A = this chain, B = another copy of it.
Amino acid sequence: MTIPEPTGAHAAWLPPLAFSAVGSRRVFAPGAGVVRDEVVHACARHGGRLADVGEEADLVLALTTAEPLPAAARAALAGHEGAIGEQSYLLARRDGVTVVLADDPTGLLYGFFHVVRLGEPAFTAPRTTEHHRPAVHRRMLDHWDNIDVHPVMGQVERGYSGGSIFWADGAPRDLDRVRAYGRLLAACGVNAVAVNNVNVHATEAHLLTDRLGDVAAVADVLRPYGIRVHLSVTFASPIALGGLPTADPLDADVRAWWRETTEQVYATIPDFGGYVVKADSEGQPGPFAYGRSHADGANLLADALAPFGGVVHWRAFVYNHRQDWRDRTTDRARAAFDHFAPLDGLFRDNAVLQVKYGPIDFQVREPVSPVIAAMPRTRLAVELQVTQEYTGQQRHVCYLAPMWSDVLGFRFWGDDGRDVAALASDIVAVSNVGDDPYWTGHPLAQANLYAFGRLAWNPHLDPAAVLDEWIDLTFAPAGDEPRRTLHAMMDGSWRTYERYTAPLGVGFMVRPGHHYGPDVDGYEYTPWGTYHFADRDGVGVDRTRATGTGFTGQYPPPWSQVYESLADCPDELLLFFHHVPYGHVLRNGSTLIQHIYDTHFAGAEEAAQTRLLWDKLAGSVDADLHARVKERLDEQVRCAGEWRDQINTYFLRKSGIPDAQGRRIH
């Protein structure tokens, strides 16, 4: 197999130069497979070569089962006699030899890419043996891709990077491109992909049965990169595909249908990952129609998958999307907990409850979903959103890793307790990839895809360091100045985006439907449960136990008390938890209204500064890439100004309180 470098696709974080340190050396890589292909390819380009058995090498890349292992490898193993483990590897450097050892090819591949990331330093200082293991077993991307182009949503729901990378014209797309995608994912640690939209439409439902061959073709291409393929299925499949009169999870025929259908899936794709299900959510079918619980529903699929080692990812995104805005007692933030927490302990071991990181829907700032703390006897996946649905739709620079780092490091029970990453069995995200030449529409949005993989592998990585890693790999020859510039543009971009959009955790305020750009009241009187309740006196949602919806009570202490308290609640979440007068003084010393004005002027100004920084990089980076980013930055600056003006005008009209600095508010 050759290294995939499809025509017209950007090399992203795997440009040829990234392999110079490896490729210019003597590499001992026994066995076959992707790692050896990579080494051969890198050496051909950079002048190195494969070392023979017994020959001295600068780099050893070997499975622990390889015989004979070079001395340096045997030395690295000393003190690590137990299994290294699936997807894991040892990394060491002693006696002038850099050693990567793994029990399985995927672990070896991860180790190889570790050396690529390190570059020249991998071959300089000694390194005592390091044991690298992923924090969670499954690091997964959900593609909201359709086969057919939806007239409103396009082919990829909430996709901002062109068409689907998997499907085109009703069939699998260019598999070379999929292979290149697999390589990029392996290089950042992703090991599972769901290949179709969780909103399963008519055509895509057939991927489970008569179009299964299409899925198998994708699986074949991704398998060498250690990536298993999952499929979103509709809960109504027994009706839609099987011709049964019901999809009742307790019905014997339904159970038999799923069992037999799943057998067929595994007969075709032996390492198939499993199913992803959005049930009883935003109009999708589910077990409620039959008076069954979501545990019944998930277990139905889990039982069908269990004999083959598959899992079902069952999304906890269940809420009333036909809520009455007049009804102040219903709180969408409560819904997932209210639905699922009582079911803890009822799910099968291979049913993974997939929980969005926040209780609402992928906003730029939300408290961490209390469901994650509430289900100790249930396997949980934390769901992030790499695609920037609510964070600028890949027209805005918004490096999301700092937010994910906050989420994954959040400790429900205070400083001594386990963090979110430790509570999760899987870390999942909605992909931002499409058939765009830059993969992600906005070239800088590649950093989010990369950082997701890296943080899913190790949630305790410093997001700023991951950013630099990505910059160094992607813009390898750019030098210190471009590196500093890119870092300055991106590292704080999430907070910049937060500053010029909906304030202090209140969320939404986006245009209904497409969710791009400001519309303060856009969702205020809708059935979607996403309100801010701004009036002439104040703004925010009272979710306290004392006077509000009681959502704060879904958290264990200390956070239940912290969020309940107007005085203690962190500023950035204040309006998520409290309805606050415009004159309220924040913990940062500013009044609420002045904070809104200040952050919105500042955020829009920061966007403008970001564009200035990028202008300075003209000539230092590829001209096409520069032009693409420039065009997006122009739109970001325009849109940030629009956010600033709409938010500030809205709140000036409501509050009547002028800006203390006398700046122009329209």
Which residues in A have some Cβ–Cβ distance to B below 8 Å?
A: 151-152, 325-326, 513, 518-522, 525, 534-537, 642, 645-646, 649-650, 652-656, 666
List B contacts of A525 (CB < 8 A): 518-520, 642, 645-646, 649-650
List B contacts of A518 (CB < 8 A): 525
List B contacts of A519 (CB < 8 A): 521-522, 525
Contacts A151-B151, A152-B151, A326-B666; A655 near B522 (Cβ below 8 A): no
Contacts A521-B520, A521-B521; A536 near B152 (Cβ below 8 A): no
List B contacts of A535 (CB < 8 A): 652-654, 656
Distance A194 CA – B415 CA, assembled complex (angstroms): 73
Distance A101 CA – B653 CA, assembled complex (angstroms): 66
* Interchain CB contact (< 8 A) of A534 among B152, B326, B646, B653: B653
Contact B537 A656 (CB under 8 A): yes
Distance A642 CA – B322 CA, assembled complex (angstroms): 14
Shortest A641–chain B CB gap in Å is: 10
Contact B326 A645 (CB under 8 A): yes
List B contacts of A650 (CB < 8 A): 521, 525
Residue of B at shortest CB range from A521? Answer: B521
**10 pairs across A/B with beta carbons < 8 Å?**
A519-B521, A520-B521, A521-B521, A521-B650, A522-B522, A525-B646, A535-B653, A536-B536, A536-B656, A654-B654
Counting every copy of the chain, the complex holds: 2
Shortest A100–chain B CB gap in Å is: 52
Shortest A415–chain B CB gap in Å is: 41
List B contacts of A655 (CB < 8 A): 536
List B contacts of A326 (CB < 8 A): 645, 649, 666
List B contacts of A642 (CB < 8 A): 525
Shortest A665–chain B CB gap in Å is: 10
Distance A169 CA – B503 CA, assembled complex (angstroms): 50
What 6 pairs between A and B have smallest CB-CB spacing?
A535-B653, A151-B151, A326-B666, A521-B521, A536-B536, A525-B646
List B contacts of A654 (CB < 8 A): 535-536, 653-654
Distance A71 CA – B642 CA, assembled complex (angstroms): 78
Distance A652 CA – B325 CA, assembled complex (angstroms): 15
Distance A646 CA – B655 CA, assembled complex (angstroms): 20
List B contacts of A645 (CB < 8 A): 326, 525
Distance A653 CA – B537 CA, assembled complex (angstroms): 8
Distance A186 CA – B325 CA, assembled complex (angstroms): 48
List B contacts of A537 (CB < 8 A): 656
Distance A522 CA – B513 CA, assembled complex (angstroms): 13
List B contacts of A653 (CB < 8 A): 534-536, 654
Q: Which of A513, A654, A655 has the most CB of B within 10 A?
A: A654
Distance A650 CA – B666 CA, assembled complex (angstroms): 20
Distance A519 CA – B522 CA, assembled complex (angstroms): 7
Distance A654 CA – B651 CA, assembled complex (angstroms): 11
Residue of B at shortest CB range from A657? Answer: B536
List B contacts of A534 (CB < 8 A): 653
Shortest A575–chain B CB gap in Å is: 16
Q: Which of A513, A522, A534 has the most CB of B within 10 A?
A: A522
Distance A653 CA – B521 CA, assembled complex (angstroms): 12
Shortest A542–chain B CB gap in Å is: 15
Distance A535 CA – B652 CA, assembled complex (angstroms): 8
List B contacts of A521 (CB < 8 A): 519-522, 650
Distance A535 CA – B646 CA, assembled complex (angstroms): 13
Shortest A178–chain B CB gap in Å is: 29
Shortest A329–chain B CB gap in Å is: 12
Distance A645 CA – B526 CA, assembled complex (angstroms): 12
List B contacts of A152 (CB < 8 A): 151-152
Distance A363 CA – B519 CA, assembled complex (angstroms): 22
